Structure 1
Amino acid sequence: MKKALFSPIILAFVVLFSLMVIPNQWIERFIPPSRVNNAATELNPFMFQGKFIQDKMLEDPRYLPIYGSSELSRLDQFHPSNYFEVNHASFTPFLIGRGGTESLIHFMNFSEHANQLKGKKLVFVLSPQWFQPKGTDESHFVPNYSSLQGYDLAFNQQVDPTLKKMAIKRLIRFSPVRNDKMLATLYKAEVTNDPWIKQKANLIRPFAYFYRNILEKKDLYYTLSGGVPRNRVISQSVKDKSWAQLRKEANRVGKSQATNNRFYIINSQYNKIKSRVPSLKNYKRGASYGKSVEYHDFQLVLDLLKKSGADPLFISVPANGPWYDYTGFPKSGRTSYYKRIKQQIEAEGFQVADFSKHEYDPYFMKDTIHIGWKGWVYVDRAIQDFVAGKPQSNHPVQTLVEATK
């Protein structure tokens, strides 16, 4: 009985030990090159919470990483992943982000790859709704937090020490970090002069390093096993068309898909909130995106990108003007955000494609917060100019009459 009981346990231990002692280089040899290309549009959390796939992507000049949040998953025919593929661009957009992926999460991700960012062009899409007064919260941080990136930051010697301390002071407030006693101790030792905490951190550092290696190995095995291919249809409707033609086509598609409301929201999304719309009138009175902890977190991102020598283009997405007006969200609470975020970016010498004047541009947004049909057309042009080394320019906003023709 004892032999029958313990044999599976011993076997499991032997298998686990064997998997752990296999050198990383051996595992990497079996990961097919196509794995990186497949991950470009998968939007798989395990990919951007991991390390290996992004390492390989950043090494390859063919890929243009696009960082953002939930808007990246709106893969229509005007989306950069479709537009640049069918028009045979010299680069492939690589999407990194999902709902709730805000500045702190992006900071940890950039920290993981800080030594690969010098001279690297990348696109970073900003959303106004990130800039709530208290910044990101547990509900957005927890699902997007990466233990591997958390431990790598603890051992990271590439990030400026002052910047690292500022980030740790923010990160340690969130439960995944705070409740991880080993990581929390390492973090506390970075930001305190308490000799006991520093001594304790030195004692657990070897164990933390071993655990960090386990997480790295786990990332490799997951990459080896493959991700979940995203089911998307490649549309040729945007091929070889001028920007004017694309805007006209985007208007046509938007007009055909947003027919049951006056906010230019796609029908499928409006149907989800239709019953609650009367109760949402003026419920955002007094709100503002002009003051938020998120500006501090975003500055961490800017500082890291600047110190790493990256070459980013920031996309400033507007609010849906008609919807925000209906909810009573003051115009001043939006314009203060547009002005502040643009100044913050340009103060670091980075480019920004500012689309704040498109709040009332029909079909620029697809729903209450996400960029859509025509918005992607403008973003595509901004990206194309950026990759070509051209400065960003203000493109004309279509009037309601022009858009509805």
Structure 2
Amino acid sequence: MKKAIFSPMIAAFLVLIILVTIPNQWIESMIPKDRVAQAATELDPIMFQGKYIQQAMLDDNSYLPMYGSSELARLDKFHPSNYFQETKAPFTPFLVGRGGTESLIHLLNFSEHIDQLKGKKIVFVLSPQWFQRKGTDESHFVPNYSSLQGYDFAFNQNINPKVKRKAIKRLLRFTPVNSDPILSTLYKAEITNDPWTKGKAMAVRPIALAYKNLLEKKDLYYSLVGSTPASREMSRGVKDKSWNQLESLANEEGSGLSTNNKFYISNYQYNKIKKLVPSLKGGKKHMTYGTGPEYRDFQLVLDLLKESGAKPLFISVPCNGYWYDYTGFPKEGRIAYYNRIRNQVLKMGFPIADFSKHEYDPYFLKDTIHIGWKGWVYTDRAIQDFYKGVKNPNDEVIWPH
């Protein structure tokens, strides 16, 4: 009887030992060659929080990394993933981000690949709603946090120590970091001169390194297995059209899909909030996006990208002016954000596609906050010019002096 009970446990243990001891190079050699291409529009959180897929993508010059949050999932015929595929562009956008992926999460991600970013063109989409007065919270940070990236950050010696210390102070405010006794010990040792804390960090360092190696192996196995590819709407309707034709087509499509409200929100999205709309009128009179800790978090991202030698284009997404006016959100609180974020980016020597004047441009956004239809057309043009190195003075891409 005992043999029957313990045999499966022993077998499982042996299998685990085998999986752990298999060299990483062997696992990498078994990962399908099309895994990166599959992940480009998959928007799989396992990929965001891992390392291998993004590492392989950054090593391949045929991909243009595109970082952001929930707007990346608004795929339609005008979305960069579709537009640049159908127009046979020399690059494929690779989407990294989902709802709640804000500056600190992107910082950890970039830091993990800092040695691959030199000279790399990337696109970074900024959302006004990140810049709440209190900054990102647990509900947004926790689901997007990666233990692998957190531990990699602790061991990363390629980051400016000043930037690293500032980031650690922020990261320690969040439960996944602060409640991890090993990681928090390593982090605290970076920001203190206390000999006891530094001694504890030295003691747990070998354990932390072993755990980081296990997380890397786990990521390789996830990359090997992959996930079920999501069904994405792709269309040839954007092929062989001028920018004016695309804008007209976007207006036409947006108009046909936004017929049940006065905010130029798609019927599908409006139906989700329709019952709440009366209760939301005038409820945000004291709101602003012009201040808060997110600006400091974003500055850490800018500092790291500057240090890495990356070549980013930032996309500044506007608010839906009609909806924001209805909710009472002061226009001054939006303008303060547009101005501050534009100046912050330009000061670091990076270009920004500033779409703030499109607040009241019908069909520029698909709902209350997410870019879509016409907004994607403008984004496509900004990305294309950026990729080609075109600095058109009549374009909405602002380059630093």
Taking structure 2 as the reference length, the TM-score comes to 0.98
Which aligned pairs between 1:208-357 and structure 2 lie closer than 5 A? 208-357=208-357
SS at match of 2:95: strand
**TM superposition shift of 1:394:** 4.9
Residue deviations 1:108-151 (CA, integer Å, cap 9, x gap): 00000000000000000000000000110000000000000000
Identity within the alignment, %: 69
**TM superposition shift of 1:395:** 4.6
Separation (CA, whole Å) in 1 of partners of 2:395 and 2:346? 19
Q: How many residues align?
A: 396
Confirm or deny: 8 A CA contact 1:165 1:190 kept in the other structure. yes
SS at match of 2:318: coil
Q: Give the aligned partner of residue 402 of structure 1.
A: none
Separation (CA, whole Å) in 2 of partners of 1:195 and 1:390? 54
C-alpha distance 101-392 of structure 1, shift in aligned 2 (>3 A): farther
C-alpha distance 45-276 of structure 1, shift in aligned 2 (>3 A): same
Confirm or deny: 8 A CA contact 1:44 1:228 kept in the other structure. no
Confirm or deny: 8 A CA contact 1:39 1:227 kept in the other structure. no
Confirm or deny: 8 A CA contact 1:311 1:350 kept in the other structure. yes
Separation (CA, whole Å) in 1 of partners of 2:87 and 2:366? 23
The one-letter amino acid of 2:246's match is: L
Confirm or deny: 8 A CA contact 1:352 1:392 kept in the other structure. no
Separation (CA, whole Å) in 2 of partners of 1:172 and 1:150? 11
The one-letter amino acid of 1:168's match is: I
Confirm or deny: 8 A CA contact 1:263 1:322 kept in the other structure. yes
Q: Identify which range, 157-166 or 98-107, moves more after superposition.
A: 157-166
SS at match of 1:263: coil
Q: Does residue 152 of structure 2 align to residue 152 of structure 1?
A: yes
Separation (CA, whole Å) in 2 of partners of 1:262 and 1:393? 34
Q: Give the aligned partner of residue 30 of structure 1.
A: 30
Confirm or deny: 8 A CA contact 1:382 1:392 kept in the other structure. no
Q: Give the aligned partner of residue 110 of structure 1.
A: 110
Separation (CA, whole Å) in 1 of partners of 2:391 and 2:376? 18
**TM superposition shift of 1:33:** 1.2
Q: Give the aligned partner of residue 82 of structure 1.
A: 82
The one-letter amino acid of 1:388's match is: K
Separation (CA, whole Å) in 2 of partners of 1:203 and 1:10? 31
Q: Identify which range, 319-328 or 156-165, moves more after superposition.
A: 156-165
**TM superposition shift of 1:7:** 1.7
Q: Does residue 124 of structure 2 align to residue 124 of structure 1?
A: yes
Separation (CA, whole Å) in 1 of partners of 2:228 and 2:98? 15
Confirm or deny: 8 A CA contact 1:351 1:392 kept in the other structure. no
- When the two chains are superposed, the root-mean-square deviation of aligned CA atoms in Å is 0.9
Residue deviations 1:139-195 (CA, integer Å, cap 9, x gap): 000000000000000000111111111101100110000111111111011111111
**TM superposition shift of 1:292:** 1.1
Separation (CA, whole Å) in 1 of partners of 2:234 and 2:9? 49
Q: Does residue 186 of structure 2 align to residue 186 of structure 1?
A: yes
**TM superposition shift of 1:393:** 4.6
Separation (CA, whole Å) in 1 of partners of 2:394 and 2:300? 28
Separation (CA, whole Å) in 2 of partners of 1:19 and 1:36? 23
The one-letter amino acid of 2:131's match is: F
SS at match of 1:143: helix
The one-letter amino acid of 2:114's match is: A
**TM superposition shift of 1:3:** 2.0
**TM superposition shift of 1:390:** 1.1
Separation (CA, whole Å) in 1 of partners of 2:361 and 2:343? 23
SS at match of 1:123: strand
SS at match of 1:312: strand
Q: Give the aligned partner of residue 399 of structure 2.
A: none
C-alpha distance 105-85 of structure 1, shift in aligned 2 (>3 A): same
SS at match of 1:360: coil
The one-letter amino acid of 1:71's match is: E
Q: Give the aligned partner of residue 204 of structure 1.
A: 204
Separation (CA, whole Å) in 2 of partners of 1:52 and 1:208? 20
Separation (CA, whole Å) in 2 of partners of 1:60 and 1:204? 36
The one-letter amino acid of 1:195's match is: P
Confirm or deny: 8 A CA contact 1:38 1:229 kept in the other structure. yes
Confirm or deny: 8 A CA contact 1:353 1:392 kept in the other structure. no
Q: Does residue 55 of structure 2 align to residue 46 of structure 1?
A: no
Q: Give the aligned partner of residue 389 of structure 2.
A: 389
The one-letter amino acid of 2:9's match is: I
Q: Give the aligned partner of residue 401 of structure 1.
A: none
Separation (CA, whole Å) in 1 of partners of 2:140 and 2:201? 29
Q: Give the aligned partner of residue 63 of structure 1.
A: 63
Q: Identify which range, 1-10 or 200-209, moves more after superposition.
A: 1-10
Separation (CA, whole Å) in 2 of partners of 1:25 and 1:392? 46
**TM superposition shift of 1:227:** 2.1
C-alpha distance 125-233 of structure 1, shift in aligned 2 (>3 A): same
C-alpha distance 345-333 of structure 1, shift in aligned 2 (>3 A): same
Q: Does residue 19 of structure 2 align to residue 11 of structure 1?
A: no
**TM superposition shift of 1:9:** 1.6
Unaligned runs of 5+ in 2: 397-401
Separation (CA, whole Å) in 2 of partners of 1:38 and 1:297? 31
Q: Give the aligned partner of residue 360 of structure 1.
A: 360
Separation (CA, whole Å) in 1 of partners of 2:394 and 2:254? 22
SS at match of 2:236: coil
SS at match of 1:277: helix
Separation (CA, whole Å) in 2 of partners of 1:192 and 1:7? 49
Q: Which runs of 4+ in 1 moved over 6 A?
A: none
Unaligned runs of 5+ in 1: 397-405
SS at match of 1:375: helix
Separation (CA, whole Å) in 2 of partners of 1:114 and 1:172? 22
C-alpha distance 328-393 of structure 1, shift in aligned 2 (>3 A): farther
